[in-house]
Amino acid sequence: MGADPEPAKEFGWQRVSTADGVVTFRLGSWSLFFDFVEAELFGGMISPNHSYVWRGQRRSDWSLSTTLDRLFGRLKLLTSSSAVLEKKSIEHLESFKYASRGRRGRTPAILLENEWWALGQHFGLATPLLDWTRSPFAATYFAFEDDASEETEFRVVFALNQTAVAQRNTQLQDGPSFEEGRLPILEFIDPMSDENPRLVSQDGCFTRAPIGTPVERWVEDTFKGSTTPALLRIEIPNSDRVSCLRALSRMNINHLSLFPDLGGASRSTNLRLELER
């Protein structure tokens, strides 16, 4: 992905690089985001029949890594064999199940493995799941809402092409397994559990990649040599943070709408002071 940026186009964005299924665009301003999405994703480069999930991150140098992979990294475990990582992952989930006894109400629902992971994700457990939303504007909010002291020049909104990934997953049905009983695919997960109201408000879902594998690395490995845009990185100037959040708030995209609890009310109230100054 080391290609030189294209000259800036008259409509305000440029394609910075294209390689192995990952395409990076750079916008001149946040205000171009809607036009970019309509022109490049749904009206130009890619068929409108493709579907996307979206994720925002406040630093352009962060990978699409799960909290469990980051925890394993801090513990110096990522260089271990896949069998060791799988064993640690299973033990981690079993510990959470044990610790959750008596804390899910009088008649808790029976949960599948990924539903347990999704429940833990909601309450801060390190998991192999990565959060996404079906709303590009909610993802943009998540990219910009935090006013961090250490910043990069751009914040990033990712668009993951579900259609392209699903087609490639089908081709991997007979591939080598990194975890017992799990194919080396990028799995999309839509939990049916009612224990995560934020997931509904954010129109959220999850992906689960092979353990120890960031999403962008899975795409690069799986789409090696391909020009199919499976993952888009949309860089937006960090300097546009306040104007972006003000515009999104007028669209009712804020902590109050995305986090239907007292935590969301508190964060929304704090941000209101900043945006109205």
Tell me: the pLDDT tens digits for 38-83?
888 877 555 555 689 999 999 999 999 999 999 999 999 999 988 8
Closest CA to 141 of 264, 253, 262, 272: 253
Is residue 107 assigned to a domain? no
Is residue 76 assigned to a domain? no
Sheet architecture: strand order including 22-27: 13-19, 22-27, 231-237, 154-161, 52-57, 130-133, 204-208, 187-189
pTM of the model: 0.87
Q: What value does the mean pLDDT of the chain take? A: 86
How many folded domains does the chain comprise? 1
Is residue 219 assigned to a domain? yes
Is residue 120 assigned to a domain? no
CA 27 distance to own-chain centroid: 19
Is residue 160 assigned to a domain? yes
Is residue 81 assigned to a domain? no
Full residue range of the structural domain in which residue 206 is found: 13-64+128-275
Pairing, β 22-27 against β 231-237: parallel
Residue 11 in this model has a pLDDT that exceeds 70: no
DSSP assignments along 110-127, one per residue: P--HHHHHHHHHHTT---
